[in-house]
């Protein structure tokens, strides 16, 4: 089984730095260094074990071996096909189908994206657990970003807070949006009488969604949505708030007469790769059920 490692060749600019100092600059936290020291990780310079007090020289090869990761108890690998859009040794981008939960829960203990990923990792002999960076609701289809290791997840989460991970969704909502484009800036909080549902409320967390009409249909609107923040159910809550709930979204006032799930698709994903240091952008087509709905009402 392979363990996660990161390797650097030291340049003239980094000459004389302590390993501790260099690794901090690479985004490896004190907590991660403690984990490396006490839970089976190691640090090598030119394949010789060193401590974080080693002073680096130009041309040396620094390698960090991270501790073994184990999946949560009870999470089992399942041989479920994955539509992998992109994969390297650090990240995965997956096109998740509708009706697949992202992680196991009491209602959906198996058949999830996490179960499928765990099986995929075991085939690769990768010692890791599941780190989904951009989670999707069970009924939402489309692109999800997954980190293959806890440290990569930490780096991507930081980038997400800096706005360096962007997602564009496409959706079909009830009614006719009269404005061609606009912004919904309305705070979201959990409903006091529900553990699932959210609502727009003054004491909620700030939430901002930008929308653009792609096509007006009979009794529906096909719309593109860009998230500025990433609150739970944000698009669903915001569209319901302005009187245009998603088709199929019964939780927030939509009807399932035309489609059996919320008509929401994660169409495009763009992110700055924290190791390869460049921007990657991916897109995927609408799933069949949304295409068929549009054909019926266009």
Distance CA 36, CA 7 (A): 15
In the numeric block, which tokens belong to residue 251?
A: 């939780």
Count CB neighbours of 172 within 10 A: 26
Count CB neighbours of 212 within 10 A: 14
DSSP secondary structure of 214-228: EEEETTEEEEEEEES
Q: Are 273 and 164 in contact (CB under 8 A)?
A: no
Distance CA 207, CA 238 (A): 9
Instruction: For residue 234, report the phi and psi dihedrals to the nearest 5 degrees.
Output: -55, -50
Secondary structure string (H, E, C) spanning 57-74: CCCCEEEEECCCCCCCCC
Distance CA 138, CA 293 (A): 19
* Active site annotation includes 137: yes
- 3-class DSSP assignment, residue 287: coil
The residue behind tokens 């780190």 is 131
Length of the chain: 298
Which one is catalytic: 35, 83, 88, 137? 137
Could you list the active site residues? 137
């Amino acid at each position: 089984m392979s363990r996660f490692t990161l390797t650097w060749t030291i340049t003239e600019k980094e000459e004389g730095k302590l390993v501790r100092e260099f690794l901090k600059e690479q985004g490896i936290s004190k907590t991660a260094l403690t984990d490396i020291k006490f839970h089976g990780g190691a640090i090598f310079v030119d394949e010789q074990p060193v401590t974080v007090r080693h002073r680096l020289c130009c041309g040396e090869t620094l390698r960090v071996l991270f501790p073994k990761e184990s999946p949560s108890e009870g999470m089992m690998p399942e041989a479920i096909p994955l539509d992998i859009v992109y994969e390297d040794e650090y990240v995965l981008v997956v096109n998740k189908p509708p009706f697949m939960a992202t992680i196991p829960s009491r209602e959906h203990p198996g058949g999830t994206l996490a179960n499928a990923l765990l099986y995929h990792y075991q085939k690769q002999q990768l010692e890791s657990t599941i780190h989904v960076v951009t989670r999707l609701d069970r009924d939402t289809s489309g692109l999800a970003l997954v980190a293959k290791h806890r440290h990569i997840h930490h780096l991507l989460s930081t980038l997400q807070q800096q706005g360096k991970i962007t997602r564009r969704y496409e959706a079909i909502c009830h009614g006719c949006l009269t404005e061609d484009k606009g912004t919904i800036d309305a705070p979201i909080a959990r409903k006091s009488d529900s553990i699932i549902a959210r609502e727009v409320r003054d004491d909620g967390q700030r939430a901002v969604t930008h929308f653009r009409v792609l096509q007006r249909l009979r009794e529906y609107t096909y719309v593109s949505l860009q998230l500025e923040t990433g609150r739970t159910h944000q698009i669903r809550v915001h569209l319901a708030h302005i009187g245009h709930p998603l088709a199929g979204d019964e939780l927030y006032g939509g009807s399932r007469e035309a489609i059996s799930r919320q008509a929401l698709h994660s169409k495009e994903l763009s992110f700055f790769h924290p190791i390869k240091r460049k921007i990657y952008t991916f897109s995927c087509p609408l799933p069949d059920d949304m295409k068929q709905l549009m054909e019926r009402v266009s």
